[in-house]
Structure formats: structure tokens, C-alpha cells
Structure 1
Amino acid sequence: MKGDYVSLRRMKDGDFELLADWIGGRVGTYGAGSPHFIRPEDLSRGADTFLMVVRNGGERIGVVSWRQLQYVGSYELGVAIGDESAWTDGYGVEAVLLLLQYIFHARNAHRVEMKAGLFNRQPMRMVTQGVMVLEGILRDYYFLDGEYHDAVVFSLLRDDYYELVRTLQLQPDTVPQAEKREAFKVFQEYLANRPQDHLSLLLNRGAGLGH
């Protein structure tokens, strides 16, 4: 999956080691309130599915993740830009948009949510720019620098996502609509030239198998 500035790809050898390094530093602090010293193998075996965020030039700069919640079609998403020099360049927003495209448009999601501490300015920009909908506040959710901080929950429903697609004029289709219409037209013309009972004949042939 490729955007204007970044692409998402599956995790490869060495990616989980890099992710573990990021989580053990400032990225872990911004994402979870403190560094998390975790083994790469634990990340690869956990409940989260990760995709590497790669700048369109090949450099690994972060990850996105998702996990299914209690109900089918309900997911919690995450994003972390590990390269601190890229924190204010919009890569995280584009990575989230690409992940939303995959989750809603390819996996038939109904609802997604994200959480972020109120000390983390980058996710707050996604909320204030209208990419996702503010849903609630979790009081004293994180403990950072000797004090408690609130977190916010923001989400999108399926209809919200497709309204976002229209508003931002996104083009999430993998197969262009014109190709889909052409394929349907070809098949429609094929059926028009078949006998009217063509499908019935095929079914009757199948009904005689095994006797």
C-alpha cells in the first residue's frame, strides 16, 4: 500500500528488533507513557499485527498496528513514527489513512478506535484536523514525569470513513471502478449471447453427478 510519501509493508527480518528499540525509547514514552523494554520475539507473537511504515525511498521510519477487539469488525489501531526527525512531516497521518483504507476497504471493518495521551501533540492533530472523531476522555490514564495525564479515545465508524474519503477526495479502490464496470459489461454481453436456459442446463448437469 503506497501513499504520496510513505508505504506500508509486512514486517521482515530485523523489523521487530528495530521496533523494540523504538518502543524502549522516546517513542514508547509518547505512545504508552513510559518506555517499554520488550523483546522482539514478544512483539512478533503478540495480539497486534504490525506493518512497517517506509518512506518512499526505502527508509524505515515507523509502524502501524491493529488488533481485533471483542466483536468481529471492531479494531484498535496504533501508529508510531520511530524516526524523531520525521515526527512533524505528516508521515504518521498518511500512514494512518493507508491503514484505514486497508481496515475498512479490504477487511470490512465496522468500527476502529485509537487512544492517545493528552501530552502527545501529534495524535491531537489528527483529532483537530477531523481525521477521526473524538469519543471520550480517560481520566488519569497515563503516569508520566511524576504526574497523571488524561488520554482521549477517538474513533471512526464505517460511514464516517467513507465520508472522510469523500471529503478528502481519497481513492481507496485497488481495482479502478472503470475496470470493474468493464468486467461486468463483458460478462453481461456473454450472458446475452447464451441460451436463456444456459445456467439451468449447467445446474442440471451437476445434479446428475454421483448417480
Structure 2
Amino acid sequence: MTLLVVTAVEPEAEAVRAGLPAGRVRVAAVGVGAAAAAAGTARLLALAEAAGSPYQAVILAGIAGGFADRAPLGATVVATRSIAADLGADSPDGFISLDELGFGTAVAPAAPTLLASLRESLPDAITGDILTVNTATGTAETAETLARRFPAAVAEGMEGYGAARAAADATLPFAELRTISNTIGPRDRAAWRIPDALAALTKAARSLGL
């Protein structure tokens, strides 16, 4: 399988490359946020298609915040679904999702075969929904609201749904793989464990020979 692994930033890409087994895997940083992830992933897929060497699957990899009591620091998480948590509309009665508005879906399920391969390769990984947000959570109130709205969510990032949409438009299987650097909630940079999460990402990348 010719696999494209996209990350938000270069340190994540370097961590993935450091753990990759020999094989046909391309790793590229495409930028922070869902829009950058969608545009960057779509561009790489189009270029590969035009060159006659198309990719066969896409994985978004990186570090993320984990929900307390669901995904501890250093854990590896694999998305069953990548969900655009704040894509929709505000209202006096609360948030209205894109699905509820009838304008499409904010939910991108992981490809079953790809998800199964990752689960087999990473038996200790936590599986669940990974939220895609445009603004990283920084308060206990927002963390509690998200945890209540998405009881199956284990982590949040900023790129998964965007990369998933690019893969879907190219009719390619997609999955999201993250390692946990911080707990979702009040921003406490002193408590972040980014080097540990990057090291865990290198270890997890060994599964990407698929």
C-alpha cells in the first residue's frame, strides 16, 4: 500500500519518519487547522495522481489533547470517527451541528479496514472519536461541554476532519492517529508533555507499514 501520512507541523512529521519501517510511505506537514489540512492533503493527492503514482490511503498523525479520564498523557489514540466539533451554528438553545442543519455532515468515519489494521498493530491504543476544533480548548467549561456533547470522544486536534474530507473527495480510505501531549481544559503549558507525545508518536509510527 502506498500511504500518505500528513501532520500539522514538521516536528510531528519528523517524529513519524523516525519510527517508520521500510516501505512506501510519504510523510508531509500540511499546516495547522482543518482548512490547511484539507488544502494541503488535497494538493498532495492531486500531484500524486497527476504523476501516475496515486496514494492508496491517508492517515492524519500528530499529537493532541486528551479528555481527562478518557485518554491520559502519553497515550496513543486512534479515531473511530473524526468529528468537526464546532462546524455548525450557534443558537439560544445551544449549538446546532452541520448534520442537524441539513447542510452535510461533520462526521468522518475511519475506513473500517484501515482502522482494523491500526487496532491490530497498536493493541494498547485507545479508540474513540477525535474532535477537530478551530480553537483549542482552554477552559474547564468548554472541556465539560465537549465531553458532554461527545461522550465517545477521547481527544481533540485541529486537522483530522479536514484531511478526512480531502481523502473522501479522492475516494481514499482515511484514519486519524494521535498521541496525547496534554489534558483538555485550562491551558497549563507547564503540564504539557510534548516531547513525550512526540516520542510516543515515533513508537506508534512503526505500525504504519500496514
Asked if TM exceeds 0.5, the reply is no
TM-score (norm 2): 0.27
Greater relative contact order (CA < 8 Å, ≥ 6 in sequence): 2
* Structure possessing the higher radius of gyration over alpha carbons: 1
Alignment TM-score, normalising by the size of structure 1:
0.27
